[in-house]
Amino acid sequence: MVHTTVNAGQHPAPASQGRPGRWLRRLAGVVLTLAVLPLAHAEDGYELWLRYRPAADAAAQAYRAQVAQVVAPAASDTQRATRDELSRGLRGLLGRAPMLADAPTAAGALLVGTPASLPSIDRLGLDLDDLGEEGYLIRSVRVDGRAATVVAANSDTGALYGAFHLLRLMQSGQPLEALDLREVPKVGLRVLNHWDDLNRHVERGYSGQSIWDWHRLPGWLDPRYTDYARANASIGINGTVLNNVNANAQILTAPYLDKVAALAGVMRPYGIRVYVSARFSAPMEIGGLDTADPLDPAVRRWWQAKADEIYAKVPDFGGFLVKANSEGQPGPQDFGRSHADGANMLAEVLAPHGGVVMWRAFVYSDEEPDDRHKQAYTEFVPHDGEFRDNVLVQVKNGAIDFQPREPFHPLFGAMPKTPLMMEFQITKEYLGFATHLVYLGPMYEEVLRADTHAKGPGSTVAKVVDGSLEGHALSGIAGVANIGSDRNWSGSHFDQANWYVFGRMAWDPSVDARTVAQEWTRMTFSTDPAFVEPVVEMMMASHQAAVDYMTPLGLHHLMGRGHHYGPAPWVEGGPRADWTSVYFHRATKEGIGFDRTTSGSDAVSQYAPPVAEVFNDPARVPEEFLLWFHHRPWTSRVASGRTLWDELVHRYSRGVGEVARMRETWTGLDRYVDPERHHQVERFLAIQQQEAQWWRDASIAYFQTFSGLPLPEGEAPPAQSLEYYKSLEFPYAPGDTQ
């Protein structure tokens, strides 16, 4: 759809009002105007941050001189992908296809490649030693006395990453003079986890169906797969786990492995390896064995043969992700064996092929709910040092479960002999699904910068994860993908930013959320500062806003049962105590909060002493985690001088107010954004405002039955009765488990 505006004065006069000649001339004028006006193309978000719209005039002029010629080989698939991307990008940004050459022959050459792939790069004698396999440098140089730009790496993939970086500079309007950039990823495995089922349902997915069209694979390779790979490569993601951690063993059967191989073929040129989630009981379900005991020789042989079969089809297969003995999934404990036994058995069969096992630490016992916060630590720490060296233990950012805000997981820093992978959730299961605008950059940043004190001050989670704290060779970050078949990939335009920031922080955990938000906004919408600044402010405030209107002051797990949509702090009963809200908030007439101090569940003692001391002390614990670690009287005072009850209400309202402000900001920015995307964001913010209000009102109505206290002055009472909020049901909320 193409939108054009015709000003009132341009409307052709009706024929009866003028001579036919004048009418025709006017019509011709309008047609001409329409033809030369830059048409505001409707945008549906499909292009993500790789839109390559024309650069602003001044910048474009400089870029045309600086990148007059592209010298990039195209002998391998990755090289071709690199050159295609440069052509596509430069054509869009500069309005004309770049001149391609085999060697630099003019000023303004852009050289992209490796010393092996491009003699003119070899001749520059650049120092590439410390760039490793994936790093690159971008430098302004002189070649035969003429100005040139070089993007150089040791591998084709490194050069591809460098090309994307250069395009990013141009897309965000940065100058290309005097460039001297070196980039090396700090984390080895930068992986998306798709929770996609083989029937295309996506667990906790809010953006349509799975993008993997399993039924038509391997015969039909949807072009979307290539665009997916391009988008990932542009932010340095180098792995993808194709299927749900609640795995179906079918993925390991021959027909599905052919489909996996076909996808691997699409990903390979973009430096992306594929992985699958393996179901631990697969030898029984598809192998005809009567046990999956990891120490049973027949079971080991079965996995050995399976690994060989996979690698025959996918030589660069990444390995297995495993959810075992968690939430009813099978695992080694079913056979009296440990997590280490299970992980090592799989690691052993993958090792000769170079594959890894990503073994999840998201476990909690089926029977006895000791404080759930403590269970992963209790189960895993005793096995530190027992895992084979191609095993990573994958740990969620916090100890409960992707809540709006959690203190960092106590396992970080507590298993020095094991590489620990970070698992973030990109899909917003507990943060308003895809309708709420919540930028996750600040949340990721908060966790990565948290200090575990494992080896003294400065032992940040980032250093645990990137392996530098203990000198691990393997390191990784996983993100539970928010990608689906929706045209805009992520269910909303702003949720693309969460995919983007995940990739950027996986590459470099020290990059800051604000810089990434700026970068993304400039590429995705507009480089105009009058737009970028307010949008970035809005993004940066959005996570705190959601925490405020959902789970302020360290409250957690208060969402609707099962689907996790909307407020339901009243949930109780059912199969397990730790699947209820009352288990987590523990509100009584006296107070609220989960006592995890040394006199409560003692979860605090799982942190290093300097951290434990702070968390244990209600006067020192960061206020955002107050009720996470403490049960506090309603009338106790908090830092603001308010009582706890008043503060809680204040924060709920503050969150709603922030969403109202975000909406106002966005509404005023319509002239910078195409109407389609502007409209959808505007409507989603309206939904968010409504739902934030619902969260506030329902939560206040409920907690007031415990506190028995009046609302602070000026605070509006909930719009409906508590009974009304409790009566709401959402049997078809998206993303639920199947």
Amino acid at position 370, single letter: D
Closer residue to ligand BDP (CB): 362 or 439 = 362
Instruction: Tell me how far, at minimum, the Cβ of 401 lies from ligand BDP, in Å.
Output: 4
> Measured in whole angstroms, how far is the alpha carbon of residue 210 from the centre of its chain?
16
Decide if 52 contacts 91 (C-beta within 8 A).
yes
Instruction: Tell me how far, at minimum, the Cβ of 429 lies from ligand BDP, in Å.
Output: 6
Name 12's Cβ contacts closer than 8 Å, sequence gap at least 6.
Answer: 23, 26, 27, 30
Dihedral sign for Cα atoms in the order 635, 637, 641, 644: negative
Instruction: Tell me how far, at minimum, the Cβ of 72 lies from ligand BDP, in Å.
Output: 41
Amino acid at position 636, single letter: S
> Measured in whole angstroms, how far is the alpha carbon of residue 683 from the centre of its chain?
23
Instruction: Tell me how far, at minimum, the Cβ of 736 lies from ligand BDP, in Å.
Output: 8
User: Which of 156, 203, 401, 451 is flagged as catalytic?
Assistant: 401
Interatomic CA distance for residues 505 and 444, integer angstroms? 8
Q: Residue count at the site for ligand BDP (CB under 6 A)?
A: 11
Closer residue to ligand BDP (CB): 232 or 427 = 427
Report the half-sphere exposure of 277 (CA within 13 A, side-chain side): 27
Q: Tell me, residue by residue from 102 to 141, as one string, x for binding to ligand BDP by CB under 6 A and - for no binding.
A: ----------------------------------------
**Residue 645 interacts with ligand BDP (CB under 6 A): yes or no:** no
DSSP structure class, residue 712? P
Instruction: Tell me how far, at minimum, the Cβ of 196 lies from ligand BDP, in Å.
Output: 12
**Residue 379 interacts with ligand BDP (CB under 6 A): yes or no:** no
Is 533 considered catalytic here?
no
Burial 451-475 (b: 16+ CB within 10 A, else e): bbbbeeeebbbbbbbbbebbebebb
Instruction: Tell me how far, at minimum, the Cβ of 197 lies from ligand BDP, in Å.
Output: 11
Interatomic CA distance for residues 469 and 77, integer angstroms? 37
Phi and psi of 383, rounded to 5°?
-95, 5
Return the SS3 of 621: coil
**Residue 445 interacts with ligand BDP (CB under 6 A): yes or no:** no
Instruction: Tell me how far, at minimum, the Cβ of 323 lies from ligand BDP, in Å.
Output: 5
Closer residue to ligand BDP (CB): 556 or 632 = 556
Per CB under 6 A, contacts with ligand BDP among 508-527 are: none
Closer residue to ligand BDP (CB): 335 or 362 = 362
Which of 652, 597, 646 lies closest to 625 in space, CA to CA?
Answer: 597
Per CB under 6 A, contacts with ligand BDP among 678-737 are: 737
Name 68's Cβ contacts closer than 8 Å, sequence gap at least 6.
Answer: 98, 99, 106, 107, 108, 109
Q: Which member of 174, 209, 246, 485 binds ligand BDP (CB under 6 A)?
A: 246
Closer residue to ligand BDP (CB): 246 or 378 = 246
Interatomic CA distance for residues 286 and 297, integer angstroms? 17
Instruction: Tell me how far, at minimum, the Cβ of 267 lies from ligand BDP, in Å.
Output: 24
Instruction: Tell me how far, at minimum, the Cβ of 708 lies from ligand BDP, in Å.
Output: 33
Which of 114, 155, 165, 112 lies closest to 133 in space, CA to CA?
Answer: 155
**Residue 401 interacts with ligand BDP (CB under 6 A): yes or no:** yes
Which of 319, 321, 282, 311 lies closest to 299 in space, CA to CA?
Answer: 282
Q: Which member of 183, 203, 371, 406 binds ligand BDP (CB under 6 A)?
A: 203
Closer residue to ligand BDP (CB): 640 or 737 = 737
Instruction: Tell me how far, at minimum, the Cβ of 326 lies from ligand BDP, in Å.
Output: 6
Per CB under 6 A, contacts with ligand BDP among 26-65 are: none
The greatest distance separating any two alpha carbons of the chain, rounded to the nearest whole angstrom, comes to: 95
Q: Tell me, residue by residue from 319 to 348, as one string, x for binding to ligand BDP by CB under 6 A and - for no binding.
A: ----x---x---------------------
Closer residue to ligand BDP (CB): 288 or 732 = 732
Q: Which member of 380, 402, 615, 703 binds ligand BDP (CB under 6 A)?
A: 402
**Residue 204 interacts with ligand BDP (CB under 6 A): yes or no:** yes
Residue whose C-beta lies closest to ligand BDP:
401
**Residue 280 interacts with ligand BDP (CB under 6 A): yes or no:** no
Percent composition of the chain: helix, strand, coil (DSSP 3-state, to 5)? 45, 10, 45
42 C-beta neighbours (distance < 10 Å), count: 12
Phi and psi of 147, rounded to 5°?
-65, 135
Which of 210, 274, 201, 266 lies closest to 238 in space, CA to CA?
Answer: 274
Q: What's the full length of the chain, in residues?
A: 738
Interatomic CA distance for residues 697 and 725, integer angstroms? 9
Closer residue to ligand BDP (CB): 245 or 357 = 245
User: Which of 327, 384, 578, 674 is flagged as catalytic?
Assistant: 327
**Residue 366 interacts with ligand BDP (CB under 6 A): yes or no:** no
Closer residue to ligand BDP (CB): 362 or 412 = 362
Which of 348, 261, 223 lies closest to 297 in space, CA to CA?
Answer: 348
**Residue 245 interacts with ligand BDP (CB under 6 A): yes or no:** yes
Instruction: Tell me how far, at minimum, the Cβ of 423 lies from ligand BDP, in Å.
Output: 8
Decide if 529 contacts 703 (C-beta within 8 A).
no
Which of 248, 207, 220, 255 lies closest to 46 in space, CA to CA?
Answer: 207
Q: Which residue has the tokens 């193309």?
A: 41
User: Which of 429, 466, 646, 647 is flagged as catalytic?
Assistant: 429
112 DSSP β-pair partners: 151
**Residue 359 interacts with ligand BDP (CB under 6 A): yes or no:** no
Would you put residue 643 in left (φ > 0), alpha (ψ -120 to 50) or beta?
beta
Closer residue to ligand BDP (CB): 204 or 677 = 204
Torsion angle defined by CA atoms of residues 71, 139, 496 and 535, in that order, rounded to the nearest 10 degrees: -130
DSSP per-residue letters across 385-428: T-S-TTEEEEEESBSSSS-SS-PBPTTTTT-TTS-EEEEEE-S-
Amino acid at position 655, single letter: G
User: Please, what is the Cα angle at 491 between 404 and 526, to 5 degrees?
Assistant: 95
Token pair, residue 694, equals 């619902």
Is 134 considered catalytic here?
no
Closer residue to ligand BDP (CB): 402 or 645 = 402
Is 327 considered catalytic here?
yes
Q: Which member of 63, 362, 594, 694 binds ligand BDP (CB under 6 A)?
A: 362
Instruction: Tell me how far, at minimum, the Cβ of 573 lies from ligand BDP, in Å.
Output: 19
Burial 98-116 (b: 16+ CB within 10 A, else e): beebeebeebbbbbbbbbe
Closer residue to ligand BDP (CB): 163 or 480 = 480
Closer residue to ligand BDP (CB): 556 or 663 = 556
**Residue 651 interacts with ligand BDP (CB under 6 A): yes or no:** no
Which residues are catalytic, by number? 327, 401, 429
Binding site for ligand BDP (CB under 6 A): 203-204, 245-246, 323, 327, 362, 401-402, 429, 737
